[in-house]
């Protein structure tokens, strides 16, 4: 840590020591892992499936491609990626959380996707892969939980092949004040209630809502991709900016 650099970071609306955030996030996802997919369907009305399909439509992957899904959780994107690259390709599914990664591995096995998909517990900020290993790197709804987002973006760029693409699917900022007001009411009232009733954990879902508000907005994240050394960076707003897909290439 450089002199003068803050030793704290956000955990939702709370400030915590940087070295403590990963364990706090891990506890959240340990708690919600067994209900994570059900809660995603309930929270988004199933729209998260469309958001992920849109992200998958941007990969440009071909049969035989190599792709890394970072913070891939229960494997939604990995299933789609595996079908894109086929049996001659490779999908590496990673997550820092063992419970989420285990759920993702089970989903892939249940889908009959074995042999061309590997799973590894890994930190997005220090990916254990060689430079230039992948044609595409994806991270879906995981970047906001990372302690040092700039370091994670640099790590993901490093493992891309020249010409490879990074895709970041994440909650973002609604583009109109009226939509923001509705979204706030949903996030801070209905979401914790759903978490309490369905997952038995209101606090974890309150954190997830708060973490969205702490995540960089569209233009700020776009600048962070450029600062990480990615080129041709742009983003696509979905549902009025509630969700955005950011993308950039390693030259």
Dihedral sign, Cα of residue 148, residue 151, residue 155, residue 160:
positive
pTM of the full structure: 0.92
Three-state DSSP class for 217?
A: coil
CA-wise closest residue to 78 among 39, 120, 44, 43: 120
Q: Is the pLDDT of residue 36 over 90?
A: no
Give pLDDT tens digits for 68-106: 999 998 899 999 999 999 999 999 999 999 999 999 999
Q: Which domains does the chain have, with CATH numbers?
A: 13-174+207-249 (3.40.50.150)
d(C-alpha 198, C-alpha 95), whole Å: 24
DSSP state at residue 200 = S
70 φ, ψ to 5°?
-90, 140
Residues 109-116 have a mean pLDDT of 90
- Give the pLDDT band (50/70/90) at residue 195: confident
DSSP state at residue 186 = I
């Amino acid at each position: 840590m450089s002199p003068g650099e803050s030793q704290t970071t956000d955990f939702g609306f709370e400030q915590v020591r940087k070295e403590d955030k990963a364990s706090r996030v891990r506890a959240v996802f340990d708690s919600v892992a067994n209900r994570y997919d059900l809660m995603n369907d309930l929270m988004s009305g199933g729209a998260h499936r469309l958001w992920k399909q849109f992200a998958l439509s941007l990969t440009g992957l071909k049969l035989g491609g190599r792709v890394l899904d970072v913070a891939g959780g229960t494997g939604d994107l990995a299933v789609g990626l595996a079908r894109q690259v086929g049996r001659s390709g490779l999908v590496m599914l990673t997550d820092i959380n063992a419970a989420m990664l285990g759920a993702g591995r089970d989903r892939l096995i249940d889908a009959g996707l074995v042999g061309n998909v590997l799973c590894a517990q890994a930190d997005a900020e220090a990916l254990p892969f060689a430079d230039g290993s992948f044609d595409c790197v994806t991270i879906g709804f995981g970047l906001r939980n990372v302690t040092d987002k700039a370091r994670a973006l640099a790590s993901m760029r490093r493992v891309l092949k020249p010409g490879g693409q990074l895709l970041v699917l994440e909650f973002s900022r609604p583009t109109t004040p009226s939509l923001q007001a509705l979204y706030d009411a949903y996030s801070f009232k209905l979401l914790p209630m759903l978490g309490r009733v369905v997952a038995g954990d209101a606090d974890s879902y309150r954190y997830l809502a708060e973490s969205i508000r702490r995540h960089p907005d569209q233009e700020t994240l776009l600048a962070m991709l450029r600062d990480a050394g990615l080129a041709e960076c742009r983003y696509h707003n979905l549902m009025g900016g509630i969700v955005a897909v950011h993308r950039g290439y390693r030259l």
